[in-house]
Amino acid sequence: MPERFPVTNPATGEVVRHLDLADASDVDAAVGAARAAAPGWASVSPAERGAVLARVATLLDERSEDFAGTETLQCGKPIRLSREFDVPGTVDNAAFFGAAARMLEGKASGEYSPEHTSSIRREPLGVVGSIAPWNYPLNMAGWKVFPALAAGNAVVIKPAEITPLTTIMLAEVFAEAGLPDGVLTVLVGRGPVVGAALAGHPGIDMVSFTGSTAVGRQVAELAASGPRRVHLELGGKAPFVVFDDADLEAAVHGAVAGALINGGQDCTAATRAYVQRPLYERFVEGVADLLGQVRVGDPSDPATDVGSLISATHAERVHGFVTRAVQAGAKAMRGGTAPDGAFYRPTLLVGAAQQSEIVQDEVFGPVLVVLPFDDDDEGIALANDTRFGLAASAWTRDVYRAGRASREIAAGCVWINDHIPIISEMPHGGIKASGYGKDMSMYSLEEYTSVKHVMSEITGKARKDWHRTVFTGDRGEQGNG
């Protein structure tokens, strides 16, 4: 008998729905169905694939309130975030990749050899195994599924078992939009069972994983048995660098918004603010004052700014980081109190050491640490002093400072005078321990294709000049055995 799993509303503890969990045999069946369906989907014209995605975008938009409500119910995130960020972003992603399906390009044909014409084909990989996280279930499912399908692949996706509902709904929308059977399968199961089976399955051509760096390493190891292509979007510890000429009000508001989005459960969230000393004290005061105005409460209430975290267990984990930081000498200027179930008050810390756990490790909660710096060299060096490299921001009115920060801060994305905004046309992905590969944009579409070189002889000559490097005799001469 399959294991029954309760999907729970973290804000109330109430069970939303019971689901049967998949196991390794279900992975075999799903991959087999995907392999059978993949050639047919790959042979469909880009225009037809794009039309399916366009219909998905329309259906998602029509059902946006249902998707937003379900996302909030399973995640505990504020309904305002679900309505104004998660769902519209997913609709836009579907529409973008519907158009992008018709725009995949190879290198222009040309005669790079006097006797040949060369061209590049981009072809689907086959079957993609996708493993999505719990913090943005709908967004992340879209980021993985849309480009893979647009490129002509079949997909087997495993959402986090604690937040699978909107991914299941997305698959239902795809079916209604005309996607053939077997091209997209959702498997709800535990990571060590279904995730591991998917990452190491011989029928999978690519594995796409979003989650922690530690689990990402395990996924890469399993995928290496193929070997198969791997795309990893892993953890982050985004620096927020405020130079002394920055607009202080903008930086303060940007820090609060960047640190608290999705309750801080965002791998690009602002987690370490480095502020040049002339602005340091005023920045800390401003952030503390603004955090005091943040409304924590019922996620279904449109007036709520910060809902619950994903679980009471996770809230205790976040509080553990804060407790250890205070014990090591940091000071909580705001928050830092024990969680109330899955709810955790936004927290502002100062006085932490650069090499301390709270500065170096991913907390994944509404916690911002602020540290001072003296000159530009030190600010950039501190920003880079972490194993992560997903996102960062720099705050300055000086175009040269901004240019230097964008060049020298080691991250897959560097925002200037803002933090968090993403758009479908631009890529998202990191470096270092934050992984490799891109979500969104045409760069993401390319991730899900293989490059094939086609070389056509154009002279019609039977005997080519290069043949003499292998043999030199005329065709009528007697060889030497």
Q: Would you name the residues annotated as active-site residues? A: 233, 267
Q: Are 288 and 259 in contact (CB under 8 A)?
A: no
Residues 6+ apart with CB under 8 A from 212: 234, 235, 362
Beta-bridged to residue 414, according to DSSP, are 392
CA distance 473 to 187: 62
Looking at the chain, the number of H-run helices and the number of E-run strands are 16, 18
Name residue 464's amino acid. Answer: K
Structure tokens at 189: 């199961």
Helix, strand, coil percent values for the chain (each to nearest 5): 40, 20, 35
- Sign of torsion over alpha carbons 204, 208, 213, 215: negative
In 181-307, the DSSP E strands lie at 184-186, 206-210, 229-233, 238-242, 270-276
Instruction: Count CB neighbours of 29 within 10 A.
Output: 14
Q: How many residues does the chain have?
A: 481
In the three-class reduction of DSSP (H, G, I as helix; E, B as strand; rest coil), residue 176 is classed as helix
Structure tokens at 346: 């936004």
Residues 6+ apart with CB under 8 A from 32: 203
Taking alpha carbons only, the member of 229, 306, 241, 315 closest to residue 13 is 315
CA distance 45 to 26: 30
What does the longest C-alpha to C-alpha distance in the chain come to? 95
Alpha-carbon dihedral angle through residues 75, 81, 84, 88, given to the nearest 10 degrees: -30
